Amino acid sequence: MRFPLRWMGVMLLSAVVVQPGCGSPARRVSAPAVAPVDRSEVAAAFAERGKFLRSLRALAKLRYTDPHERYSSRQAIAVARPDRVRVEVTTMLGTAFVLAARDRRLTAYWPEENTAFEGLATPEHVWRYTRLWMPLETLVELLLAVPAAGRAEPTRCPEENTPYVCVRQTSAGLGAIVVALDARGLPVEVEERGAVDGTVLWRARYLDYTQDTVPPAAEHIVIDVPRYHRSVTLQLSEIEVNPPLGDDVFALGLPAGVRLVDLDEQEDGE
């Protein structure tokens, strides 16, 4: 795991005092000692964060890149645990696309094409519309910056001499989700490693947190899929933490005459 972000170590400063006409050696001023981080307290703070954060609403600027394509969009997003998601892509002309998911089902709607796709919220179907192969529950936790919170156990960090505290949880694919936490119990980086060879399946980095919400919400998230050189960057604004989000937020009322495509039947026919 790479930890290039928000380095929490102490920068050592040296003060040089030189008297005129004197060749005395420089005097070094040692940095004050830093109290060691209590790993159990950091893990407990992360678990408490996981208990508190249940939903989020925000505006987002998304940028996607892979070796074959790149694009950007403006979105309004809402998520609620365990598996509720609404993403509305907007343009100057109005709504271009809506993805709504709840209770293990999802609907993707293109108004301009008058077509909607419905089916089970499987990792494959999530990938179709997000380019991220993962369960909806994992995606929601990533956006809330509470991946595996409350279920993970303290573990050794993959990197030696890291200033972070790491926790680990067995993933649905029987691999491992490893989360690196700063001293406040905020995720800095999280990755899922495969069960067979430990290959990194995806990696999320939290580049910044807003101080305008309690607790702090992630406002700059980068999710990478190293194997396919795929990257999704989200810059969030106007963030609301734990807003009341009713069932209607995640229910997509389709207009009459919309062409419906069953994703599950389409998959069976392939």
Comparison of pLDDT for 4 and 190, the residue scoring more: 190
Is 262 among the domain residues? no
Is 54 among the domain residues? yes
Is 248 among the domain residues? no
**Percentage of the residues of the chain whose pLDDT score is greater than 90:** 72
CB 82 within 8 A of CB 53: no
Domain count, the chain: 1
- Tell me the CA distances in angstroms from 103 to 81, 92, 107, 116, one per residue in order: 10, 32, 12, 18
Residue 174 C-beta-side C-alpha neighbours within 13 Å: 3
Is 266 among the domain residues? no
Of 22-26, 70-74, 148-152, which has the strongest mean pLDDT?
A: 70-74
Is 270 among the domain residues? no
The band of 117, judged by pLDDT with boundaries at 50, 70 and 90, is very high
The band of 27, judged by pLDDT with boundaries at 50, 70 and 90, is very low
Tokens at residue 34, please? Answer: 């830093």
pLDDT of amino acid 221: 99
Q: How far apart are CA 190 and CA 92, in angstroms?
A: 35
Is 163 among the domain residues? yes
The band of 7, judged by pLDDT with boundaries at 50, 70 and 90, is very low
Compute the average pLDDT of residues 106-130. Answer: 96
- pTM, to two decimals: 0.83
The band of 173, judged by pLDDT with boundaries at 50, 70 and 90, is confident
Q: Which residue range forms the structural domain that includes residue 177?
A: 39-242
DSSP string, 245-257: --GGGG---PPTT
Is 96 among the domain residues? yes
Angle between helices 123-130 and 136-144 (to 10 degrees): 50
**pLDDT tens-place string over residues 47-66:** 999 999 999 999 999 999 99
CATH of the domain at 43: 2.50.20.10
Is 34 among the domain residues? no
pLDDT of amino acid 19: 38
**pLDDT tens-place string over residues 175-202:** 899 999 999 999 999 999 998 888 999 9
pLDDT of amino acid 197: 84
